[in-house]
């Protein structure tokens, strides 16, 4: 791993870095559009006590948005990696990312199903929990999730690619930083809207935060992309 870390950051291929950033920007825009569409459906159908059909539609909206976002990332980022690594396992890369998007979408959809909101409980949560502790603790969790995602992606590439130790490590750093951005914006939005839950404006701000978090992730992963070499 030490030999891998000693390699030049961009490995003489600046076009790879530009293409990587471009691919992630486009993927983030597609994912953002999918999330926005899911939020619109959720907001339209989730007001009050939604029926069974409405709940199914809400979950499906989040599933489609999540699958579209991760599929876009898998295809666009995968193309960049395949240009650098001719033996890159593109098909399994896409299939597993779509499967992950399906699971994430189901979880997100069920978590967003309409439920009674207690404004007093929201205020008490803000009063009882130190915002900075929430951000720091959540960021650490984000780093762990980043390590898990990087390990998942490394598992896909392990037979064809070298330099995966750096890929996993930088994935952890990217997860920590991106989660810090998301949680900071979320805490600001919740605090500003308290004692009522965040509305449409808050959702839009979170989408913007998600976009910038995705760009931060792409930038942090540049050295890892540069260190990948064919096996």
| pLDDT tens digit sequence for 130-153 | 667 778 888 899 999 999 999 999
Quick count: other Cβ atoms within 10 Å of Cβ 123? 13
Helix (H) or strand (E) segment spanning residue 162: strand 161-162
Question: What does the mean pLDDT of the chain come to?
Answer: 82
d(CA 153, CA 231): 16
pLDDT greater than 50 at residue 11: no
pLDDT number for residue 176: 95
Query: Which residues, in sequence order, are CB contacts of 20 under 8 Å at separation 6+?
Result: 77, 80, 218, 221, 222, 225
d(CA 63, CA 60): 5
Percent of the chain topping pLDDT 70: 80
Q: What is the DSSP letter of 210?
A: H
Overall average pLDDT of the 49-59 stretch: 78
> Is 197 in contact with 117 (CB distance < 8 Å)?
yes
| pLDDT tens digit sequence for 165-223 | 999 999 999 999 999 999 888 888 877 766 566 677 888 888 899 999 999 999 999 99
| pLDDT tens digit sequence for 196-206 | 666 778 888 88
d(CA 134, CA 127): 12
């Amino acid at each position: 791993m030490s030999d891998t870390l000693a390699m030049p950051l961009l490995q003489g291929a600046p076009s790879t870095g530009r293409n990587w950033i471009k691919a992630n920007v486009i993927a983030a825009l597609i994912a953002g559009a999918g999330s926005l569409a899911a939020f619109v459906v959720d907001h339209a159908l989730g007001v009050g006590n939604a029926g069974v059909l409405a709940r199914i539609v809400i979950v499906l909206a989040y599933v489609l948005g999540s699958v579209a976002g991760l599929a876009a990332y898998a295809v666009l980022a995968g193309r960049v990696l395949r240009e650098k690594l001719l033996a890159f396992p593109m098909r399994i890369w896409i299939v597993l990312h779509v499967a992950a998007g399906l699971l994430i979408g189901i979880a997100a959809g069920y978590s967003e199903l309409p439920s009674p909101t207690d404004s007093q409980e929201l205020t008490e949560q803000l009063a009882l929990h130190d915002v900075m502790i929430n951000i720091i603790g959540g960021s650490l969790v984000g780093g762990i999730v980043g390590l898990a995602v990087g390990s998942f992606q490394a598992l896909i590439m392990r037979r064809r690619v070298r330099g995966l130790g750096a890929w996993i490590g930088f994935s952890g750093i990217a997860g920590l930083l991106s989660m810090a951005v998301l949680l900071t914006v979320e805490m600001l939005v919740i605090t500003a809207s308290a004692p009522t839950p965040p509305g449409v404006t808050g959702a839009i701000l979170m989408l913007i935060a998600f976009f910038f978090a995705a760009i931060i992730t792409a930038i942090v992963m540049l050295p890892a992309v540069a260190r990948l070499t064919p096996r």
